Amino acid sequence: MAQTITFPVQNMTCGGCAARVTQLLKKVPGAEDVSVNLADETAQITVEQNKPVIDAISALGHAGYPARTEEMRLAVSGMSCASCVGRLDRALRAEAGVVDVNVNLADESATLRFVPGATTAARLAEVATKTGYPARIASQEDIRDHGEIKQAEAEGHRQAMILAAALTIPVFVLEMGGHLFPAWHHFIARTIGLETSWVIQFLLTTAVLVGPGRHFFTKGIPALWRRAPNMDSLVALGAGSAWTFSTVALFAPSLLPQGTRVVYFEAAAVIVTLILLGRWFEARAKGQTGAAIRQLIGLQPRTAMVRQGAEWVEVPVAELSVG
């Protein structure tokens, strides 16, 4: 769908400048209905995708008439892997007026340079959210608070991992113990029975998936539905498939081919538990990174000594300028 983009152009001082800018924009492939306004120093083009906008801004910059751009930072949540970074990067770059994108998985942020008038900061946050990664315009406090947020997340993952492990260990022992000690299966068969063992595994594994592993399904399945699968989607598919097949084998074995009645409850439970362990390590590492960043920010000088005449005066760094 065609969009009309209006953006500010710098250094136009006369009709000749406006004419040169017009000629440059008309040569950009995909840019149509070019209009340049010298009075308010803007240019307007109609495009059907974002690439002509980037090409136009590049051409103007090389010719000495740079388009004015702004930079913003988004605080993004929900990214779990490099695939998430790539998906969000492509979605933001496709938005008209976006010149450059840098998505950072480590501190869960996206830094963008865009042309005011072509898009807005609120619109870019909305694009990220619709892609599946809730975002908001970041403030300076977000940089300081990132470490505390990650530490809180790490604690949440630790507690979830401990609960999942407590539920998973009995499942693993019941099903896999016989591979280490063959007599274990005979003991289970003579005491509680194989069917009862499977029922116990079903109950404990269901508790793992519904409890500490719930967010893999609440986040992964919607991402799969949007045809944008992420790591949560893979975990949900793997654990969900093992649990579903095992549940059918336990309660409706007649639906399966003869000789295939086995259960994999321990696989579903172990997958979730190990991923939660990894998420705990990851969040803890990010929290430590955030603490290091805060320490570096704390080392930044707040004031500087400036010579004014014969005297040295202390002024805030924010008030310094060249010359």
pLDDT in tens, the chain (323 residues): 677 888 888 888 888 888 888 888 888 888 888 888 888 888 888 887 777 878 888 888 888 888 888 888 898 888 878 888 888 999 998 887 788 899 988 778 899 988 887 788 888 999 998 888 888 888 765 555 566 667 777 888 899 999 999 999 999 999 998 888 888 888 888 899 889 999 999 999 999 999 999 999 998 898 888 787 888 899 999 999 999 999 999 999 989 888 888 999 999 999 999 999 998 888 887 777 666 656 666 667 777 888 777 788 887 776 666 65
Q: What is the pLDDT of residue 146?
A: 60
Contact 117, 97 (CB under 8 A): yes
Sequence ranges of the domains in the chain: 3-63, 70-138, 144-294
Task: Give me 312's structure tokens.
Answer: 């040295």
Contact 166, 256 (CB under 8 A): no
| CATH annotation of 70-138 | 3.30.70.100
Q: What is the pLDDT of residue 31?
A: 81
Q: What is the pLDDT of residue 239?
A: 95
Task: Give me 49's structure tokens.
Answer: 């995708």
Side chain identity at residue 146, one-letter code:
H
Residue with tokens 């983009």: 5
Q: What is the pLDDT of residue 268?
A: 96
Contact 25, 45 (CB under 8 A): yes
**Using the 8-state DSSP alphabet, how is residue 292 labeled?**
H
Q: What share of the chain is helix, strand, coil (3-state, %, to 5)?
A: 60, 20, 25
Nearest to 140, CA basis, from 75, 77, 71: 75
pTM of the model: 0.64
Output the CA torsion sign for 253, 257, 263, 265. Answer: negative
Nearest to 22, CA basis, from 118, 32, 30, 295: 32
Task: Give me 104's structure tokens.
Answer: 């950072």
Contact 70, 104 (CB under 8 A): no
Angle, to 10 degrees, between the axis of helix 140-180 and the axis of helix 194-210?
Answer: 170
**Structural element, H or E, at residue 304:** strand 303-308
Classify residue 82 by burial, with Cβ atoms within 10 Å: 0-12, 13-18, 19+.
Answer: exposed
Q: What is the pLDDT of residue 39?
A: 82
Answer whether 3-63 and 70-138 agree in fold.
yes
Question: Largest Cα–Cα distance in the chain?
Answer: 97
CB proximity list for 97: less than 8 A, separation 6 or greater: 5, 7, 50, 53, 114, 115, 117, 118, 119
Contact 127, 98 (CB under 8 A): no
Contact 72, 112 (CB under 8 A): yes
Q: What is the pLDDT of residue 265?
A: 95
Angle, to 10 degrees, between the axis of helix 265-299 and the axis of helix 231-251?
Answer: 160
Nearest to 144, CA basis, from 283, 279, 296: 296
Q: Which fold has domain 3-63?
A: Alpha-Beta Plaits (3.30.70)
